[in-house]
């Protein structure tokens, strides 16, 4: 027997419809790529998105065709998103931080027909143009006055394109499982892989994100998504903000500490989201200039494990709560969040830190478990390491244009992370499967050592990799990028770790590097680190 409820397809055009109908005057503020701060509303974004849709249809874009964006977080980017998705085309967000060879592969693999780009990336597209023959036209997201001279195919200024278009357009006349968005993994091993979101999965992910234990956005919230829209849909904020009727503040191309601080204060931001390196830059700027935060209540930090020193600095110095999140492109991306239970909230902050440094518990809509190499389910005792497996309506089951499923017999996706789960349900990532250090048959968590080491006042970045050892197979080596003007004292940094990690986890060496490379999503690129240190040998 089936229920007798209405068939109301979960398509994302309904999200921007809702924002226009019930929160139409709510502001969306952007630091434009051209420079000035510009202000618009959800009603205006809705209207202009429909103009984008009609331009696409005029070019012969059909449902299922891929339309790419190579752009920062701006109001125009939001308009383009909804304009593409509303007619059943697939919005493919390109990450400009990838190597040109990776971008070429991704654009060709996706068979993108049109690319919407910001002025910043016109030279990048011009450089790879000979290698992306299926791209038919490029729309530069600016006006005629700022339109550059370019050899890009059928290049036009965005404002000129939409100016003559009608706002009358039918959206959402398709099934909810229709493809909606395409985002490629950063490709640390092999070629990047495409994760193809559906309207249904993005709509459910939006509802998942509106839970109070996740973003919990309301119309009174002012949200600054520093995390780019090309990082798994800005962690869902580009959908969740309009769905909640929250004011959005879009940072454009400038994400340095001074620029972010200016927007936080002038726009009275209450909630923001970014990777740890962005927040470390902001904290450095505020400390140097003796600044405070007047309206920010919470920040969401994800992308890599959050050091205790960062959580403590926000709490102790600025009265801001850090909500740590874990997820990945394949999970849309919300996976877990470090919300404190009532029992933990009652503890002193120092005692809460044991759980705040963990990645937390899954919200409704995400199933999670640990498995061993043989596929057996492991205990949640806080000590047993296992492969982190996830399942749910917002988790990928296959990669775009690749044969075969990526889930096991129970429907769980192997995230590639190694983790523990404690008896309170808090998950903690201990490593990527490919980064875990295996010493004497036991696993050592490089992430845990890194998060402690980066708390030393002389350290800017820390990474731990395994080095070959004749007896123990591998031993940890601590790699440090020191703050400007600091000199390395190996014993000082080993002493800093004493009593905070198991003795047998203690690094066998400490090495100072001029630079610790970051990947396209702001994480430490350990693959590149290992390549650069391939000739390194542990001290005798």
- Over residues 485-536, the pLDDT tens digits come to 999 999 999 999 998 888 888 999 999 999 999 887 777 888 889 889 888 9
| pLDDT band, very low/low/confident/very high, at 303 (cuts 50, 70, 90) | confident
Q: What is the pLDDT of residues 399-418, one digit of tens each?
A: 999 999 999 999 999 999 99
Residue 30 burial (C-beta neighbours within 10 Å; 0-12, 13-18, 19+): buried
pLDDT digit string (tens) for 414-430? 999 999 999 999 999 98
* Active-site residue, 330 included: yes
Of these residues, 79, 221, 330, 474, which one is catalytic? 330
For the segment 78-89, the average pLDDT, to the nearest whole number, is 98
Q: What is the mean pLDDT of residues 3-7?
A: 97
Q: How far apart are the first and last CA of the chain?
A: 72
Could you tell me the pTM of the whole model?
Answer: 0.88
Tokens matching residue 227: 């995390």
Number of CB atoms found within 10 A of residue 503's CB: 8
Q: What is the mean pLDDT of residues 276-282?
A: 91
Catalytic site residue from 185, 188, 331, 336: 185
Q: In whole angstroms, give the CA distance from residue 88 to residue 24.
A: 24
What is the per-residue DSSP string for 415-466?
A: EEEEEEE-TT--EEEEEETTT-EEETTEEE-HHHHHHHHTTSTTEEEEEEEE
Q: What is residue 188's predicted lDDT score, i.e. its pLDDT?
A: 52
Of the candidate ranges 14-18, 138-142, 325-329, 497-501, the one whose mean pLDDT is the lowest: 497-501
Q: What is the pLDDT of residues 367-386, one digit of tens each?
A: 999 999 899 999 999 999 89
* 12 class by beta-carbon count within 10 Å (0-12 exposed, 13-18 middle, 19+ buried): buried
pLDDT number for residue 492: 95
Q: What is the CATH number of domain 435-540?
A: 3.30.300.30
CATH of range 13-24+40-198; options 3.40.50.12780, 3.30.470.20, 1.10.300.10, 3.10.150.10: 3.40.50.12780
pLDDT in tens, 446-476: 888 998 999 999 999 999 999 988 888 889 9
185 is catalytic: yes
Instruction: Note the helical H segments in 210-348.
Output: 232-235, 237-244, 257-266, 276-289, 308-318, 342-345
| Mean pLDDT calculated for residue range 62-83 | 98
Enumerate the domain spans of the chain: 13-24+40-198, 435-540
**Token pair 């009174």: residue:** 220
**Catalytic residue chosen out of the listed positions 120, 156, 277, 443:** 443
Q: How confident is the model at residue 189 (pLDDT cuts 50, 70, 90)?
A: low
The whole-number pLDDT of residue 447 equals: 87
Is 131 a residue whose pLDDT tops 90?
Answer: yes
pLDDT reported for residue 187: 55
The verdict on whether 267 is a catalytic residue reads: no
pLDDT digits (tens, 9 = 90+) for 206-255: 999 999 989 899 999 999 999 999 998 899 999 999 999 999 999 999 99
Task: Pick the catalytic residue from 151, 438, 483, 531.
Answer: 438
């Amino acid at each position: 027997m089936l229920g007798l409820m209405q068939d109301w397809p979960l398509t994302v055009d309904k999200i921007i419809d809702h924002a226009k109908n019930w929160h139409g005057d709510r502001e969306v503020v952007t630091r434009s790529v051209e420079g000035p701060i510009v202000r618009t509303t959800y009603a205006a974004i809705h209207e202009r998105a429909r103009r984008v849709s009609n331009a696409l249809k005029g070019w012969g874009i059909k449902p299922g065709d891929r339309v790419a964006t190579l752009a920062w977080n701006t109001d125009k980017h939001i308009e383009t998103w909804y304009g593409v998705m509303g007619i059943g085309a697939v919005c493919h967000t390109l990450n400009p931080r990838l190597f040109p060879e990776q971008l070429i592969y991704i654009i060709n693999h996706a068979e993108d027909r049109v690319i919407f780009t910001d002025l910043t990336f016109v030279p990048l597209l011009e450089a790879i143009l000979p290698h992306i023959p299926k791209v038919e036209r490029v729309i530069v997201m600016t006006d005629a006055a700022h339109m550059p001279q370019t050899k890009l195919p059928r290049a036009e200024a965005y404002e000129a394109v939409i100016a003559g278009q009608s706002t009358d357009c039918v959206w959402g006349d398709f099934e909810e499982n229709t493809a909606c968005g395409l985002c490629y993994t950063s490709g640390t091993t092999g070629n990047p892989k495409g994760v193809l979101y559906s309207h249904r999965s993005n709509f459910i992910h939006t509802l998942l994100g509106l839970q109070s234990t996740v973003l919990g956005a309301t119309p009174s919230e002012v949200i600054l998504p520093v995390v780019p829209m090309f990082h798994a849909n800005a962690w869902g904020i580009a959908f969740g903000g309009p769905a909640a009727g929250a004011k959005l503040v879009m940072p454009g191309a400038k994400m340095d500490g001074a620029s972010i601080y200016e927007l936080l204060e002038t726009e009275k931001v209450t909630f923001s989201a970014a990777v740890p390196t962005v927040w470390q830059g902001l904290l450095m700027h505020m400390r140097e200039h003796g600044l405070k935060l007047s309206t920010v209540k919470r920040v969401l930090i994800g992308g890599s494990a959050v050091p205790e020193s960062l959580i403590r600095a926000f709490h102790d110095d600025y009265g801001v709560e850090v909500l740590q999140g874990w997820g990945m492109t394949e999970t849309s991306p919300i996976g877990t969040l470090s919300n404190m239970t009532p029992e933990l909230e009652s503890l002193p902050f120092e005692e809460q830190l044991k759980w705040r440094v963990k990645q937390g518990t899954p919200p409704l809509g995400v199933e999670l478990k640990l498995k061993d190499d043989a596929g057996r389910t492991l205990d949640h005792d806080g000590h047993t390491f296992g492969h982190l497996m996830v399942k749910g309506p917002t988790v990928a089951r296959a990669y775009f244009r690749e044969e075969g499923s990526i889930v096991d017999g129970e429907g769980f996706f192997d995230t590639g992370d190694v983790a523990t789960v404690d008896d309170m349900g808090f998950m903690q990532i201990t490593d990527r499967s490919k980064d875990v250090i295996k010493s004497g048959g036991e696993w050592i968590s490089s992430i845990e050592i890194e998060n402690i080491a980066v708390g030393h006042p002389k350290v800017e970045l820390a990474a731990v990799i395994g080095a070959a050892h004749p007896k123990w197979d591998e031993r940890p080596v601590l790699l440090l990028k020191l703050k400007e003007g600091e000199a390395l004292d190996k014993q000082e940094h080993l002493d800093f770790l004493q009593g905070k990690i198991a003795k047998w986890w203690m690094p066998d060496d400490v090495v100072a590097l001029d630079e610790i490379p970051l990947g396209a999503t702001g994480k430490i690129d350990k693959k590149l680190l290992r390549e650069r240190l391939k000739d390194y040998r542990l001290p005798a």
